[in-house]
Amino acid sequence: MLKDKTALVTGSTSGIGLGIAKALARQGANIVLNGFGDVDGARQQIEALGVPVFYHGADMSHPAEIEDLMRAAAERFGRVDILVNNAGIQHVAPVEEFPPERWDAIIAINLCSAFHTIRLALPAMKAANWGRIINVASVHGLVASAQKSAYVAAKHGLVGLTKVVALETATTGVTCNAICPGWVLTPLVQKQVDAKAAALGISNEEATRLLLAEKQPSMQFTTPEELGELAVFFCSPAANNVRGVAWNMDGGWTAQ
Ligand code: NAD
């Protein structure tokens, strides 16, 4: 379905971003890979699906590096047709103890980076009259949890940005939507499980059960593969008129 299209997925070396990149690759899209850590492992997993992969190591907290990423992606593949703003980090602390530099980093990576990639990707998408912008927000773009001030502020902002971009592109072939996962067992969440286990002196298994029981009625993690298939749906012709939604995949978290 996506042969000859190019998908840039920020933060795609791990977790949800890698799951989405692989799902888009299975549909034939060229992949622009971004993020830190095990770059070679991610590249190999995507290349094994038979598509070309181009890696750019832009730090998504630096606008100049984002500009370089967008320029390099367009140079390599012609243009970015599918933009998935996924890179994100978390920090958990009460607001009065929240380190200001962590606040700044979370807002920069989880929110501002999407503004920059979108403003830079849109002209070519509009010229082609086709584009898909998918912002990986969170249930925390819809509801709050204590101790996550920066993350919740950034994700609510990302849902707002999604709606504005959807309105500004409403009469074009470009759509913009957000995905709002509940708990997904990635390194980002594993850190929170580990912290809970350490704080309460309980096993990893028990901490996982508590984490799910607190928020996610299904008592099951959403998977990167399931989120990848949702991204594929947003890229399909059936989703041509899905615009500005914040689509949760959260095991019932926000239904409560
Ligand atoms: P993860 O830690 O597995 O992956 C994060 C990715 O972002 C990695 O590839 C990492 O290298 C990259 N990254 C981090 N900082 C970066 C930077 N400055 N520049 C470029 N890349 C950077 O986490 P994940 O759980 O897969 O999270 C992906 C997205 O999904 C995030 O936006 C997160 O907020 C969101 N999300 C996660 C969950 C969950 O339960 N895991 C739930 C809702 C939303």
Structure tokens at 54: 């181009």
Q: How confident is the model at residue 209 (pLDDT cuts 50, 70, 90)?
A: very high
Give the pLDDT band (50/70/90) at residue 132.
very high
Q: Rounded distance, CA 28 to CA 202, Å?
A: 44
Ligand 1 atom at shortest distance from the alpha carbon of 222: 40
Separation of CA 86 and ligand 1 centre (Å): 6
Ligand 1 centroid vs 1 CA: distance in angstroms?
26
Residues whose CB is less than 8 angstroms from the CB of residue 11 and which lie 6 or more positions away in sequence, other chains included: 17, 34, 35, 60, 86, 87, 88
Strand partners, 249: 181
Residue type, 57: G
- Which of 188, 189, 192, 247 best tests ligand 1's pocket when mutated (most atoms within 8 Å of CB)? 188
Residue 99 has what pLDDT? 98
Cα(117)–Cα(69) distance, integer angstroms = 9
Crossing angle of the two packed helices 149-168 and 113-128, in degrees rounded to 10: 20
156 token code pair:
């609510």
State the pairing for strand pair 82-85/53-56: unpaired
Can you tell me the distance from the alpha carbon of 110 to that of 88, in angstroms, rounded to the nearest whole number?
Answer: 5
Burial class (CB in 10 A: 0-12, 13-18, 19+), 24: buried
Q: What is the pLDDT of residues 11-65, one digit of tens each?
A: 999 999 999 999 999 999 999 999 999 999 999 999 999 999 999 999 999 999 9
CA of 186 to the centre of ligand 1 (A): 8
Which residue from 8, 68, 86, 155 has its CB within 8 A of the most atoms of ligand 1, so it is best to mutate? 86
pLDDT tens for each residue of 68-94: 999 999 999 999 999 999 999 999 999
